[in-house]
Amino acid sequence: MGESVFDFGKLLDPGTFYGAFVLALFVLILASIAAGVTTRIIRRSSWVMGKLERRVDKTVIRYILRFKNLAIYLVAAVVYGSLVPSLRALLGTMMAGAGITAIVVGFAAKSTLANLISGLSLAIYRPFRIGDKISLEGEYGTIEDITLRHTIVRTWENKRLIIPNEKLDSMSIINYSIIDKKILCRVEMGVSYDTDIDLVRKLVLEEAGKCPFRDESADEPWMRVISHGDFSIGFRVYLWVPDIDSSWSTRFWILENVKKRFDREGIEIPFPYRTVVYKKDLPEAKRLEPDQEE
Residue 279 in domain: no
Give me the pLDDT at residue 1, please.
45
Q: Answer yes or no: is 289 within a domain.
A: no
Q: Which of 148, 175, 202 is the last residue of a domain?
A: 175
Q: Is 48 in the same domain as 137?
A: no
Do residues 30 and 54 share a domain?
Answer: yes
Residue 224, strand partner residues:
236
* 44 in a structural domain: yes
Together in a domain, 193 and 239: yes
Query: Nearest CA to 57 among 124, 7, 12, 11?
Result: 124
Query: Quick check: 135 and 173 in contact, CB under 8 A?
Result: yes
Q: What share of the chain is helix, strand, coil (3-state, %, to 5)?
A: 50, 15, 30
Please tell me the predicted confidence (pLDDT) of residue 6.
54
Tell whether 272 is covered by a domain. Answer: no
104 and 196 part of one domain: no
Q: Decide: 119 and 64 in contact? Cβ < 8 Å.
A: no
Report pLDDT for 249: 93
Give me the domain span that covers residue 78.
8-108
Q: How far apart, in Å, are the Cα atoms of 21 and each of 12, 84, 92, 271?
A: 10, 10, 21, 79
Indicate the residue among 77, 108, 139 that finishes a domain: 108
Asked if residue 278 is part of any domain, the answer here is no
Rounded to 5°, the CA angle 134-253-229 comes to: 90
Report whether 134 contacts 141 (CB < 8 A). Answer: yes
Query: Is there a single domain that holds both residue 29 and residue 70?
Result: yes
What is the pLDDT at residue 158? Answer: 92
The DSSP annotation for 188-201 comes to: EEEE-TTS-HHHHH
- Domain contains 193: yes
187 and 171 in a common domain: no
Instruction: Give yes or no: residues 149 and 78 share one domain.
Output: no
Report the pLDDT value the prediction gives residue 13, as an integer from 0 to 100: 67
Length of the chain, in residues: 294
Name the DSSP letter for residue 252. Answer: H
Claim to verify: residue 67 and residue 155 sit in the same structural domain? no
Task: Give CA separation, 132 vs 30, 124, 138, 201, 245, in Å.
Answer: 37, 16, 16, 36, 12
Residue 48 is predicted with a pLDDT of 47
Quote the radius of gyration of the chain (alpha carbons, Å): 35
Write the CB contacts of 258 (distance below 8 Å, at least 6 apart in sequence). 189, 203, 204, 207, 237
Same domain assignment for residues 187 and 171: no
Q: Please, what are the averages of pLDDT over each run of 10 residues along the chain (294 residues)?
A: 55 70 84 84 61 57 78 84 72 58 56 80 82 89 87 91 88 89 92 91 94 91 92 92 92 94 90 69 65 55
Q: Are residues 255 and 216 in the same domain?
A: yes
What pLDDT, on the 0 to 100 scale, is given for residue 52? 44
Beta carbons of 243 and 181 less than 8 angstroms apart: yes
Instruction: CATH number of the domain at 168, please.
Output: 2.30.30.60
Please report whether residue 79 resides in a domain. Answer: yes
* Whole-number pLDDT of residue 259: 94
pTM above 0.85, yes or no: no
Give the phi and the psi of residue 134 in degrees, each rounded to 5: -135, 165
Distance CA 218, CA 209 (A): 12
**Domain of residue 196, CATH code:** 3.30.70.100
Q: Is residue 168 part of a domain?
A: yes
Pair 21, 85 in one domain:
yes
Q: Count the domains in the chain.
A: 3
Same domain, 160 and 190: no
